[in-house]
Amino acid sequence: MLPQFIPNWIDGKECEAHNNARFDKIDPATGQKQSSVARSTEADIAAAVQVARKAQSAWADTPPVQRGMLLLEIVLGMKARQKEIAEIVAAETGKSFKDAFGETGGAIQLGLFYASEGQRLYGRTTTSGAQNKYAITVRQPLGVAGLIVPANTPIANVAWKMFPALICGNSVVMKASEDTPATSWVIGKIATEVGFPKGVLNFVQGFGREAGAALVAHPDVDVVSFTGSTAVGKEIQRIAGERFARVSLELGGKNALVVCDDADLNNAVKWVALSAFSNAGQRCAACSRVIVFDSIYDQFKKMLLEKAAAQKVGPTDNDDFGPVINERQLTNMIAAVDASKKEGARVLCGGSRLTDPEHANGFYMAPTILENVSPAAAISQKELFGPITILYCVKGFQDSLDMANDSEYGLTACIHTKNFDRAVKFCDKIRTGVAVVNGGTYGSEPHMPFGGLKQSGNGTREPGTEALDVYSEFKDIYLMMDPSHL
């Protein structure tokens, strides 16, 4: 099902990287080599950008409604192959087929939303201060879009960036995640099969430092849209910002979920477990801080520990979550937990790699809950991107809000309460891009803008119609009518 070799897609053709360089993609569920992948560098990026630049003007001249119809063909191709795509996603990430199928469904919905935007690429008409003068704004493409995605929800990440960039009339060079190369490759294959215009949508495989950095630095890339870690996001902002390229950054989070004394505790436990552990905690919107009122702390802790003990870890549809994406990630997380222990953190469950025969070869981390951690400690402030969460005890509402806001990040947050006033105040005062009442810290919808404050992003929002602002430029047009010519 997975190809043995995963090439680039440039100009509608599969191709090797320059000098035929390749790297191995490892299966996170088994630790075995899964495929070899084109290891692209600056020369491959240059070739892809050149092709994309050449194809862009005809694509920009294609009326948006027709662009939408062409995108719809890709969406229908994805729908027809939903099972195959989900199998690829599951194989590359180690997540269950069920989760991968749902994620692919989300990507299809997102594609449908943007294909339809071709009929709604609204500008504005407004009044003018002068007689016989008409004022209009229209959206125009930026040019070549350089898109960089992570591996956590790979098909959603690919769709999230390519569809809005394309509907706005940009051509695309996407740097696939090195951990999920086949997910991007299969979309390139579908695009080619449905006759999508050559050169408009290109996928380049490779590592961040080699291929990603070259895409960011390329002078002919007009907009860089990046989803990934805050550290890399900062570098991208600096490099692409230097030449005034448009930059959109969707970065990390350290998201808090507050459990008040009046919460439905069963519901809160359910959502904390889902937000902290599902997808092996590899979500920018994962719940990594659980802030609990002191009067219910012990009861809630007991219930959450029971839930954690019941988590099934593995790659099948009967499991709650699978491995983390690579060994480096696993090693870093365990080191962070070990360091926190030295500072007094209590590991209530997990904290280590699963080493039983079923899991020993894969990159499996046990569901992990810590307590007795200072809110200022490194592990309270730095994102880990794994199935790890920390319990904190607070006196009441204001303390919980202050602690939730005490973070470098500001992506999502959630409160569990039956008190309307607490819910409203929390949504008003939490410094995040997403606030949820009585649910989880994660979840987004294709038509809703997602993004964060502080170190979680640079203020842009994707997807929703707001993503159109990332990928298009407004132009003011004034029409002067001369009555003497009538």
Q: Is 168 a catalytic residue?
A: no
Q: Which of 27, 87, 103, 383 binds ligand NAD (CB under 6 A)?
A: 383
Helix, strand, or coil (residue 220) = coil
CB of 114 to ligand NAD, least distance (A): 17
Which span sits near ligand NAD by CB under 6 A: 79-87, 248-256, 333-341, 357-365? 248-256
For residue 275, give both structure tokens.
Answer: 């937000």
User: Which CB, 215 or 263, lies closer to ligand NAD?
Assistant: 215
Region 128-187 residues binding ligand NAD, contact defined as CB under 6 A: 148-152, 175, 177-178
Region 278-337 residues binding ligand NAD, contact defined as CB under 6 A: 284
In whole angstroms, give the CA distance from residue 58 to residue 369.
54
Helix, strand, or coil (residue 477) = strand
Q: Does 386 bind ligand NAD (CB under 6 A)?
A: no
In whole angstroms, give the CA distance from residue 23 to residue 326.
14
* Cβ-contact 191, 184 below 8 angstroms: no
Q: Could you tell me whether strands 346-349 and 453-454 are parallel, antiparallel, or unpaired per DSSP bridges?
A: unpaired
DSSP letter at 407 equals S
Q: Does 434 bind ligand NAD (CB under 6 A)?
A: no
Which span sits near ligand NAD by CB under 6 A: 91-99, 127-135, 201-209, 412-420? 201-209
Q: Letter for the amino acid at 271?
A: W
User: How many residues contact ligand NAD, by CB under 6 A?
Assistant: 28
CB of 276 to ligand NAD, least distance (A): 14
Q: Does 232 bind ligand NAD (CB under 6 A)?
A: yes
Q: Which of 14, 42, 84, 235 binds ligand NAD (CB under 6 A)?
A: 235
Q: Letter for the amino acid at 183?
A: T
Q: Does 227 bind ligand NAD (CB under 6 A)?
A: yes
Helix, strand, coil abundance in the chain, percent, nearest 5: 40, 25, 35
| 394 to 433: interface string for ligand NAD, x by CB under 6 A | -----------------x----------------------
User: Which CB, 282 or 311, lies closer to ligand NAD?
Assistant: 282
Helix, strand, or coil (residue 141) = strand
Which span sits near ligand NAD by CB under 6 A: 226-234, 312-320, 353-361, 478-486? 226-234
Point out the catalytic residue in the list 168, 284, 287, 393: 284
Q: What is the DSSP string of 197-208?
A: PTTTEEEE---I
In whole angstroms, give the CA distance from residue 43 to residue 27.
28
Phi then psi dihedrals of residue 50, to 5 deg = -60, -45
CB of 411 to ligand NAD, least distance (A): 6
Phi then psi dihedrals of residue 5, to 5 deg = -125, 130
User: Which CB, 118 or 206, lies closer to ligand NAD?
Assistant: 206
User: Which CB, 86 or 251, lies closer to ligand NAD?
Assistant: 251
**Residue 361 C-alpha from the chain's centroid:** 27
CB of 329 to ligand NAD, least distance (A): 7
CB of 335 to ligand NAD, least distance (A): 15
Point out the catalytic residue in the list 250, 260, 287, 383: 250
Q: Does 440 bind ligand NAD (CB under 6 A)?
A: no
* Cβ-contact 259, 293 below 8 angstroms: yes
* Cβ-contact 125, 136 below 8 angstroms: yes
Q: Does 216 bind ligand NAD (CB under 6 A)?
A: yes
Q: Which of 213, 291, 303, 414 binds ligand NAD (CB under 6 A)?
A: 213
Q: Is 250 a catalytic residue?
A: yes
Q: What is the DSSP string of 282-316?
A: --TT-EEEEEEEGGGHHHHHHHHHHHHHT--BSSS
CB of 211 to ligand NAD, least distance (A): 7
Q: Does 212 bind ligand NAD (CB under 6 A)?
A: yes
* Cβ-contact 251, 229 below 8 angstroms: yes
Which span sits near ligand NAD by CB under 6 A: 124-132, 185-193, 228-236, 240-248? 228-236
Q: Does 228 bind ligand NAD (CB under 6 A)?
A: yes
Q: How many helices (H) and strands (E) does the chain have?
A: 15, 22
Q: Which of 7, 208, 315, 362 binds ligand NAD (CB under 6 A)?
A: 208
For CA atoms 183, 75, 247, 8, the dihedral sign is positive
In whole angstroms, give the CA distance from residue 315 to residue 28.
10
Whole-angstrom Cα Rg for the chain: 24
* Cβ-contact 74, 194 below 8 angstroms: yes
Which span sits near ligand NAD by CB under 6 A: 103-111, 194-202, 211-219, 471-479? 211-219
Q: Which of 251, 384, 394, 435 binds ligand NAD (CB under 6 A)?
A: 251
User: Which CB, 111 or 208, lies closer to ligand NAD?
Assistant: 208
> Which residues are catalytic, by number?
250, 284
Residues that bind ligand NAD (CB under 6 A): 148-152, 175, 177-178, 207-209, 212-213, 216, 227-229, 232, 235-236, 250-253, 284, 383, 385, 411
